[in-house]
Structure 1
Amino acid sequence: MIAINNLTFEIGARALYDEANWHIKPGEKIGLIGANGTGKTTLLKIIVGDYSPTSGTVSKSKELTIGYLNQDLLSYASDKSILHVAMEAFARQNELHTEIENLLKKLETDYSEELLNKLSDKQHEFETLDGYNIEYKAHEILAGLGFTEEQTHRKLAEFSGGWRMRVMLAKILLQAPDILLLDEPTNHLDLPSIQWLEDYLKAFEGAVVIVSHDRWFLDKVINRTVESRKGKLTVYAGNYTFYLEEKALREEIQRGEFKNQQSKIKQEEKLIERFRAKASKAKMAQSRIKMLDKMERIDDVDDDNPSVNFKFRFSKQSGRAVFNIEHLSKSYPNLSILNDTEAVIEKGDKIALIGANGKGKSTLLRIVAGADFDFTGKAETGYNVTKTFFAQHQLESLHLENEILTELQTFAPKHTDTELRSILGSFLFTGDDVFKKIKVLSGGEKSRVALAKALTADANFLILDEPTNHLDMASVNILIQALQQYEGTFIAVSHDRYFLDNIANKIWYIEDQKIKEYPGTYAEYEEWNSKRKLEPKAAAPAPKKEEKKEAAPVKQQSANDDKAKQLKKLNGDLQKMETQITDLENEVKQFETKLADPDVYNDKTKLNDTNTAYKQKQNQLKQIQQQWETLAEQIMELEA
């Protein structure tokens, strides 16, 4: 489909890519990952032809159609309706529609056979291209991306950049190209829209290449991972979690090979040093020196995962009740957000506030932060509570002429320079980076500085509104580590589900204008919520009182028979699964034995192949165990 061969791309004296290779095959769902600045967006622009490589080739088939979503589309504006802009995807259908309308107008005065035949041909082509359903398709995709019916008829220019980006995504999806290149497609989506996009991309028949910092999204969609690092492209045959596991294995092997080689080099150097001065051994020493010079050196493994090495400090502990909400109501003109709702934030709570855009998450955060007083009811901060509020607009409050270190020194004078440098180091500002002026930083770098400021505040209650925006995966991991060891209380809004799942012990969501709580992690909430959505469909209607009494025993007997048949079938399926589980457990044990075999462990190819097969069997075992548990629960419910 697309073949990248020996690609080199230079910016000034720096080679962003150096003889990189990558082949994209039909139907692959690929995550293109790597640290900021490694050239992911640049590579997409090279593929579509916006940039030309310094050397090497990018080969594409002539008929290949590409849909490219990039952040430059944020600036796209139009006075046409959202629906009209989205339907521009159907260029040929729109052209035919106009031609058919013109022909029908002509037929009012001209009844010639030639005109009728022309109209018939155009209508046939229009129908072949499914032209009568294009408006329905556009509505379906726009609804999936969060647009109401009323919004689709409003002008695109009336919406913010984030919402315009959704329209451009809808247009690209409606084009149904052979390959989708999506640069940060989830940046401007809320959770329901992200989940809809996941399902759409999984069912999409073409190839997909995604650049994203949302690892949960990547895990759900992709079946290949390509890492851009040090000018090369490395392919991993699995999703993001598989990539992490496989990369760790490869690094373990590389680390072992590096240590063995270093040991061998030291041994050779000792021999050379020992025999160099002896005339009889000088020739042998020179031979060994040449051998060392020709040796292909193995690099040690670089540590790409910085860790947090500072401790949060706050001077006073809060009381048990951190924030109390009673009979709270909040509304805007023609829109009610909260109505007579109650909630309590207690000391030690780690809360993730989730939901679709427009449900009032940011409004609620502003109320908790004390930045919005236009409501009725009670919203009270507890005893000894000191809070700090992080929101994206606070990036504007950074002092642009300050150096990064000066910005933190001014904000947190109680911290020593060593402590502040340590904090900035955790947020990837090392060495002389701390002397950069704020005005030269990128959006992501400014976000990291603002986060560092928030986390140095003498606060026992953190309020975080979209703290992961503009952060790469390494920075998100740093923030996760920081919040995991934070001993205070916090509430956070984010669309990054991996982030939420790793920091929260409670989930808040707004439903029917009430604040509702789920006591658990995000993953547990999502599983519970999926089952909850199915319950109304599964619930059987109550029997009508008008039914004749004599019919009841017959119906009851029929229901009992059906239940018995269903139980018999389910128990049979359960026994088959138990046999499969036993067989898979034995296979897994056999692979574990192989992995402990030195012959396998010392052979890199054998080890990789065996480890891949081992993980596949583990996944199969895990899946069938989950199926067994689900089936067992169904049987228990029927037997109750």
Structure 2
Amino acid sequence: MLAGLTNVTFEFGARILFENATWHIQPNERIGLVGFNGTGKSTLLKLLVGQYSPSEGTVERSRTTTIGYLHQDLLSFDTNESILQVALGAFERVLQLEKEIEELGIELEKTGDENTLIAYTDRLHEMDTLDGYTIHHRTEEVLQGLGFDNASLQRPYKEFSGGWRMRVLLAKMILMAPDLLLLDEPTNHLDLPSIEWLEKYLVHYQGSVVIVSHDKYFLNRMVTKIVEVYQRQLHIYNGNYDFFQKEKEIRTDLQQRAYENQQDYIRQQERFIERFKAKASKAAQAQSIVKRLDRLERVEEVIVERPDIRINFQVDKVPGKVLVELKDITKKFGDNTIVEHTSAEIDRGDKIALIGANGKGKSTLLRIIAGIEQFEGDRRWGHNVEESFYAQHQLESLDLNNTVLDEMKTCGAQKTELELRTLLGCFLFSGDDADKKIKVLSGGEKARVALAKTIVSKANFLMLDEPTNHLDMHSVDLLIDSLNRYQGTIIMVSHDRYFISKVANKIWEIDDHAIKVFDGGYEEWVEWKERMARNAAGKGQPEKKQEKKAEPAPAPKPEPVAAKPVVNAPINKELKKELQKQQKALSELEQKIDSLNKQKVEKEALLADPSTYADKNKFIETESSLKTINASLKDLNAQYETAFEKVMELEEQANK
């Protein structure tokens, strides 16, 4: 075991994040850590590296285990060193050896001392053992894989934005090759080519990897185990993300059925206690049942932590067939050409994903379409186009003195306050969060407000720049559902391949300074690109024989859930069938007894009425009926006791 938690409870004030949680990380595991925002995924990683201490339980780490932890807080690091030097910091011992070898070489030239020669030779041998002569090549290779070109490697680290800095630190972490690599949202600052490179690299990584990510494609290709933080417990699934979703649905259904069965059992026991607690012959048995219920390990009801609300768009005007026409567009930043003499058009109903590596100009092209970026050429709006543009710079247009709810009211959607609060809940502003001032929100929270304002508008043309960056998986699913029902037109920039694959019906790729249009979804585009690449390499194959993408195969059986155990263990079919039969008979007897008790009350009421005695026949009939009912009740109660004891006996056998 590299590291793990044993019976860990962790609290933030009065709030319990984990309770009696156990999880052990073994060598060579690739694990996805998932859960709704706020459930404690990042906290869990901080417990593993020792930044936090548990309230109860133990955090275990092998003395020889090395741990690398990539997280957003690392962005506070700053330096004048080049990005190549920062990444080379992963090889601290090798860099020290290089310096010592250089100094010893100079001294050896001067003195020729034998001890100096031995020390020099020892350093050379250690350098060779550590494969130190290849560190520059390996570092450049990793940095290039993460999107840096050769010209950037010598630029100072401090000149780069937060996203690019995170890539440098990721490169350094990878090069350090720790036994356990903890990655908190590593794909947030990567473009598609860099994500694909990271996937390939990590699949062959020799150590264990734990990844917190909302990128379903990344998790499906990368991990062979999912750990879910849910209801203060850690639930473990042996498989990729798709396997986890299917298996969780099965487990949730089983848990809910177990809960309902237990509730039926509890109600049955309580009815017996109520009926027989005053009866001397059954008082001891009733008291025994009371004690048994007190000791019963209760099954928790399945609670939906976030409801599946629907985001409903309202489109006032229907635009013409062509919404935007781009003709002979050219855009350059100095010597950097984004697009040159390129043309394209956006038609009504298009849902376009704009794809390309970072630096290719996706966001620039989106701004050109929106009309807020200068360019050469011609851009024409179609008829009746009402646009709404979401991008990071829109955060500056938010009124800092408004509450989140007030800011939503400014976008003219004519929705009620309840409808706006419901929508904000989808964007992770629940309860009192909607009454917070914009000025106290984090950058991510402001971005979600800006996105919510875009979604709630009555625009028939949406331009979205990285709309999923600050949403968890559940919120991404809700956004996908709403965009699929949206009757307008969309063009979007996103590195979330799952999101693109579920929404886009057309792909625009910026390649060779031109817009290349692919009329189809993302997965079709990927297959087409792979086929073209094989053909270009002289290895083209007929379409029917396309190779399937390798994905981690989910294991057929999950590990036991680290949650409270279900009361009833598996039982054999015959015993289960007999138990169900007796339970049904018991239920039928209860219904008959209840029905007779109602009749008994009615007859007793008649006998208490003086008018009954005025009619001799009516009196005789009523009295006779009451005697028959009492006799039947006596018989049915005897049958009920026998059936109840039989059920108790069968349940005891089933629980052995």
Q: TM-score range by the shorter chain?
A: 0.7 to 0.9
Shift of residue 354 of structure 1?
1.1
SS of structure 1 residue aligned to 2:533:
helix
- Aligned 8 A contact 2:311 2:479 in 1: no
- Which residue does the alignment assign to 2:224? 223
- Which residue does the alignment assign to 2:266? 265
The normalised TM-score by structure 1 is 0.82
- Which residue does the alignment assign to 2:159? 158
- Which residue does the alignment assign to 1:87? 88
Shift of residue 287 of structure 1?
4.1
- Which residue does the alignment assign to 1:3? 4
Shift of residue 539 of structure 1?
6.3
- Which residue does the alignment assign to 1:197? 198
List aligned pairs for 1:205-216, cutoff 5 A: 205-216=206-217
Shift of residue 192 of structure 1?
0.5
Q: Residue deviations 1:390-437, cap 9 Å, x none?
A: 012222322233222222122225222233233223334344443233
Shift of residue 278 of structure 1?
5.7
Shift of residue 189 of structure 1?
0.9
- Given residue 309 of structure 2, which amino acid in structure 1 is its aligned partner? V
Does residue 125 (structure 1) correspond to residue 126 (structure 2)? The answer is yes
- Aligned 8 A contact 2:351 2:490 in 1: yes
- Given residue 153 of structure 1, which amino acid in structure 2 is its aligned partner? Q
- Which residue does the alignment assign to 1:329? 330
Shift of residue 279 of structure 1?
6.3
- Aligned 8 A contact 1:427 1:478 in 2: no
Q: Residue deviations 1:485-508, cap 9 Å, x none?
A: 111100111111111111111111
Shift of residue 107 of structure 1?
2.6
- Given residue 213 of structure 1, which amino acid in structure 2 is its aligned partner? H
Q: Residue deviations 1:366-400, cap 9 Å, x none?
A: 0111111x211111111001000001222232223
- Aligned 8 A contact 2:21 2:234 in 1: yes
CA distance in 2, matches of 1:441, 1:227: 28
- Aligned 8 A contact 1:404 1:438 in 2: yes
Shift of residue 61 of structure 1?
1.7
CA distance in 1, matches of 2:221, 2:57: 33
Q: Residue deviations 1:147-197, cap 9 Å, x none?
A: 111100111111112111111111111111111111111111111011000
List aligned pairs for 1:73-152, cutoff 5 A: 73-152=74-153
- Aligned 8 A contact 2:277 2:286 in 1: yes
- Which residue does the alignment assign to 1:44? 45
- Which residue does the alignment assign to 2:409? 409
CA distance in 1, matches of 2:311, 2:127: 65
- Which residue does the alignment assign to 1:24? 25
Alpha-carbon spacing, 1:406–1:154, altered in 2? closer, same or farther (3 Å): same
Task: Using CA pairs under 8 Å that are at least 6 residues apart, name the structure with larger relative contact order, 1 or 2.
Answer: 2
- Which residue does the alignment assign to 2:419? 419
- Aligned 8 A contact 1:494 1:500 in 2: yes
- Which residue does the alignment assign to 1:508? 508
Structure 1, 84-93 or 270-279: larger mean CA deviation: 270-279
Percent identity between the two aligned chains: 52
Shift of residue 274 of structure 1?
4.1
Q: Residue deviations 1:534-571, cap 9 Å, x none?
A: 2211169xxxxxxxxxxxxxxxxxxxxxxxxx99xxxx
Shift of residue 33 of structure 1?
1.2
- Which residue does the alignment assign to 2:649? none
Shift of residue 54 of structure 1?
2.2
SS of structure 1 residue aligned to 2:195:
helix
Alpha-carbon spacing, 1:155–1:427, altered in 2? closer, same or farther (3 Å): closer
Alpha-carbon spacing, 1:294–1:349, altered in 2? closer, same or farther (3 Å): same
Unaligned runs of 5+ in 2: 547-555, 558-567, 574-656
CA distance in 2, matches of 1:606, 1:71: 52
Shift of residue 233 of structure 1?
1.5
CA distance in 1, matches of 2:335, 2:201: 33
SS of structure 1 residue aligned to 2:164:
helix
- Given residue 466 of structure 1, which amino acid in structure 2 is its aligned partner? E
- Given residue 492 of structure 1, which amino acid in structure 2 is its aligned partner? M
Kindly report the root-mean-square deviation, in angstroms, between the aligned alpha carbons of the 2 structures: 2.5
CA distance in 2, matches of 1:166, 1:402: 35
Shift of residue 280 of structure 1?
6.0
- Given residue 57 of structure 1, which amino acid in structure 2 is its aligned partner? T
Alpha-carbon spacing, 1:223–1:284, altered in 2? closer, same or farther (3 Å): same
Alpha-carbon spacing, 1:84–1:307, altered in 2? closer, same or farther (3 Å): same
Alpha-carbon spacing, 1:344–1:289, altered in 2? closer, same or farther (3 Å): same
The normalised TM-score by structure 2 is 0.80
- Which residue does the alignment assign to 1:449? 449
Q: Residue deviations 1:183-218, cap 9 Å, x none?
A: 111111111011000000000011011111112111
- Aligned 8 A contact 1:307 1:481 in 2: no
- Aligned 8 A contact 1:76 1:164 in 2: no
Unaligned runs of 5+ in 1: 541-565, 568-572, 575-587, 592-601, 608-640
- Which residue does the alignment assign to 1:497? 497
SS of structure 1 residue aligned to 2:380:
strand
Shift of residue 292 of structure 1?
3.2
- Aligned 8 A contact 1:225 1:237 in 2: yes
- Which residue does the alignment assign to 2:641? none
Alpha-carbon spacing, 1:286–1:113, altered in 2? closer, same or farther (3 Å): closer
List aligned pairs for 1:458-607, cutoff 5 A: 458-538=458-538
Alpha-carbon spacing, 1:89–1:605, altered in 2? closer, same or farther (3 Å): farther
Shift of residue 247 of structure 1?
0.7
Shift of residue 439 of structure 1?
3.3
